[in-house]
Amino acid sequence: MNQWEFYTTNEIKPRGWIKKQLEIQAEGLSGNLDKVWKDIKDSAWIGGTSEGWERVPYWLDGFIPLAHLLENEDMIRRAKKYVDAIITRQESDGWICPCNKDEREEYDTWAIQLITKVLVVYYQCSKDERIPSVVYKVLKNYYELLKSKKIKLFNWGKYRWFETFIAINFTYRKYKEEWLLELAKILRSQGTDYTELLSLWEKPLNAWKYETHAVNIVMALKYEAVSTQLTGGTYADKAEELYEKLYNFNGTPVGLFTGDECLSGLSPIQGTELCSVVEQMYSYELLYAHTGDTKWAERLEMLAFNALPATISDDMWAHQYVQMSNQIACKRFPGKSLFRTNNSEAHLFGLEPNFGCCTANFNQGWPKFTLSAFMHNADTVINAIPIPAELTCDKAHIKLETNYPFENRFRYSINAKKDFLFKVRIPHFAKNLMVDNQEITENELSFKINADESKEIEISFETTPYLEKRPYDLYTVKYGSLVFSLPVKYEKKMYEYERDGVERKFPYCDYEYIPASEWNYAYCNGKFSVDIDEISDVPFSSEKPPIKIKAKMKNIHWEFEDGYNTVCAKVPTSRISKNPEKEILLYPYGCCKLRMTELPLIDCYPAQL
C-alpha cells in the first residue's frame, strides 16, 4: 500500500534554516536531557531507579535521528550507550522492558509498542545489525504472551495498539513469518476501535477519559494506514472521518485539536498538549507516505510551521505542556485551573510543566519532519516537504535551496546517477506558479531526469494573506502554510527550585511570561501587506521574525475570562470601537509566545473582504 518510502538520516541532510533549528534543539533541552533529568539519566531502562516506562523511549525517538541528521558524534555515541544498555538487558525469552517477570501482567505494554518503534528508528539511522534480531525477539515474546492470554492490552496499550505496527511492518518485510500476521490481528482485536468513539468528541467534558485523550486520538489517525496491509481489508481513509469530526468540534487555527489533556472544544482559550503536536505530525507523515494524499502533507506543514515552534522557547530549553490560540499570559492560575484536565501550571514554559511526558517526547518533532523532505518509490523521487535539505541516494544528489515557508522560491540542483522521475509537491494555495520563468498550471510537477544529467530547476509561486472565519464570529489571518497572530510583548519571570526530587536550574528552569503590551484588538478589514526579512539564527525568533504582515486594527473592549485576570474572555465584550485605526505588525504564530490569534472583524462585512 505504501505510496512513498522514507529516506534515512544517511541520505537526507538538513541545510539552511532547518539545520539551524536542529542545532538549537541539540544545544537545548533535547540534546542535554540525559545530563539534567533523572528520568533519563537514572532511568530503569539503563539500570537506574527512576522511571522505566515511556520517558527514555520517548526521548530516544527524537534524540537518535537528531544526532544522526547533525552527524554529531558525541550525541551518536550517547544514543548508542542507551541502546546498548537496553538491549543487553533483554531477557532470554525476548522481554525487554524493565520490570520483574511476576510484574508483567500489570505492566502496561504501551512501553513495548514504543520501544520497538524506537529500535526500528535506531536501526534506520545506525544500520546496527543487532537490532532486527532484538526487535524480532521482543515481538515474538509479545505475541506468545498475548496469544496465551498471560497478558492483555489495557490502559495506554489498548488505546495505542497501532504504534506496534511500525516494528511489525519492519519485521514482516524482513522475515515474512505468519505469526507476525497473527500478532497484528490480536492487537487489532484487543485494541480500541476509534470509529466507535466519534460521538464522544462532539462535546467536551471536564473529565479525564482514554477515549477523549487528545494524544491517543491524534496517534490513532494513522491506525488504518499502518495496519491495513497486515490485518487485511481495503484502505478507506478512516483518518479523514476522524479528522473531520475532530476539527469541526475541537479544531484550532493551526490545525491542532484542543486537548488539555482531553478534547476541549472550540474555545480559543483552551489548550493543546505538546505531545499532541508532535504525535499529530508523525501521524500525518505516515499518512502521506502510505497514501500519497497531499492533504496530509499540507496539514503537516501547518503544524510544523506554527504549532511546534510556538510552544517551545527560542533557545529550546523550555516548553509548554499546553498552548492556547489566544494566550495573553503564561502565569500560574491562583485558584482553579482554566484547563479541563490539566493543572494551573500547564501553560508555563519550563522543564516539565504539568507532566513530564512532553519533556521527553517533544524532540521527535523537528527531526522526523526533516526526514519527510524527500521520499521515493521505485524510479520516482518526490520533494514532499520543501525545506532546505540535500538528498544523496542511489539515483542522484539533489540540493534544495529555499527559505520556505517564509518565501515561496525553490532552487533545485540535481546531479543524476540513474534515470528517474523527480516530482515536486505544490500546495493548493499556490498562485502564479512559475518553473524556470515559465508559467505552469499543474499542481504537481514532474521532471524526467536522465542518468549523468546535471540540472537546475527554479520554482516560484505567490500567495495572498486572507482572513479565515473561526467560531464565535472571530477571524484568523493565514498566508500559505503560516498562521499570523497579534504578538503580545512580555517579560519573563524565572523560577529555580526543586520539587519531587527534580531540579529546575537555569537554563532548564521554569518561566512565567507576563504581558507587557495591549492585546484587545479587532481587525478593521481584510486588507494586508507582507513584509519579508532575513531569517535570523533563530528561524522562528520571537524578536526578529523572518516575515510580518501589516494589518489595520482598532482597540476594542475585551475583558478577562470570569474568575481570571491573565486570560482573555472567550469573546470580546463589545465589537464596536470609536478608537482610531492603527497599523499593527502581525507575527507568524510560531514566533509568538504570547499572542491573539482569533480576533473579531469590525467596520466591514465579510462579503467585502
CA distance 484 to 72: 34
Residue 604, pLDDT > 70, answer no
Nearest partner of 525 among 598, 593, 603, judged by Cα: 603
Give the position of cell 537514572.
42
The pLDDT of residue 553 is above 90:
yes
The CB density around residue 585, as the number of other CB atoms within 10 Å, is: 13
pLDDT averaged over the chain?
A: 97
Q: pLDDT by residue (tens digit) across 240-267?
A: 999 999 999 999 999 999 999 999 999 9
In this prediction, residue 608 has a pLDDT band, given cuts at 50, 70 and 90, of very low
Nearest-angstrom CA–CA distance, 539 and 308: 12
pLDDT of residue 609: 43
Domain boundaries, the chain: 374-402+409-462, 466-608
Q: Looking at the chain, how many residues does it have?
A: 609
Residue range 374-402+409-462, CATH number: 2.60.40
Question: For residue 6, what are the β-bridge partners?
Answer: 375
Share of the chain above pLDDT 70, in %: 99
pLDDT given at position 442:
77
Question: Whole-model pTM?
Answer: 0.97
Residue 232 Cα distances to 182, 219, 229, angstroms: 11, 20, 6
Q: pLDDT digits over 144-177, tens only?
A: 999 999 999 999 999 999 999 999 999 999 999 9
Which pLDDT band, with edges at 50, 70 and 90, does 2 fall under?
confident
**Residues 116, 90: contact at Cβ < 8 Å?**
no
Rounded average pLDDT over 344-350: 98
CB proximity list for 565: less than 8 A, separation 6 or greater: none
Q: What DSSP line would sit under 363-429, residue for residue?
A: GGHHHHHHTTSEEEETTEEEE-S--SEEEE-SSEEEEEEE-TTSS-EEEEEEEESS-EEEEEE--TT
Q: Is the peptide bond before 11 cis (omega within 30 degrees of 0)?
A: no
Output phi, psi for 491, to 5 deg: -115, 145
Question: Pairing state of beta strands 482-487 and 474-479?
Answer: antiparallel
Helix (H) or strand (E) holding 525: strand 521-532
Instruction: Report, as an integer, the average pLDDT of 392-402.
Output: 98
With vertex at residue 558, the alpha carbon angle to CA 557 and CA 563, rounded to the nearest 5 degrees, is 135
Q: Does pLDDT of 606 surpass 50?
A: no
Of 206, 202, 336, 213, nearest to 272 by C-alpha is: 213
* Contacts with 508 (C-beta within 8 Å, 6 or more apart), sequence order: 29, 32, 36, 37, 317, 318, 351
Asked whether the predicted pLDDT for residue 29 surpasses 50, the reply is yes
282-337 pLDDT, tens digit per residue, is: 999 999 999 999 999 999 999 999 999 999 999 999 999 999 999 999 999 999 99
pLDDT greater than 60 at residue 449 = yes
- For 30-60, the pLDDT digits (tens) are 999 999 999 999 999 999 999 999 999 999 9
Q: What CA–CA distance (Å, rounded) separates 397 from 15? A: 14
> Residue 364's CB: how many other CB atoms inside 10 A?
26
Query: Identity (one letter) of the amino acid at 192?
Result: T
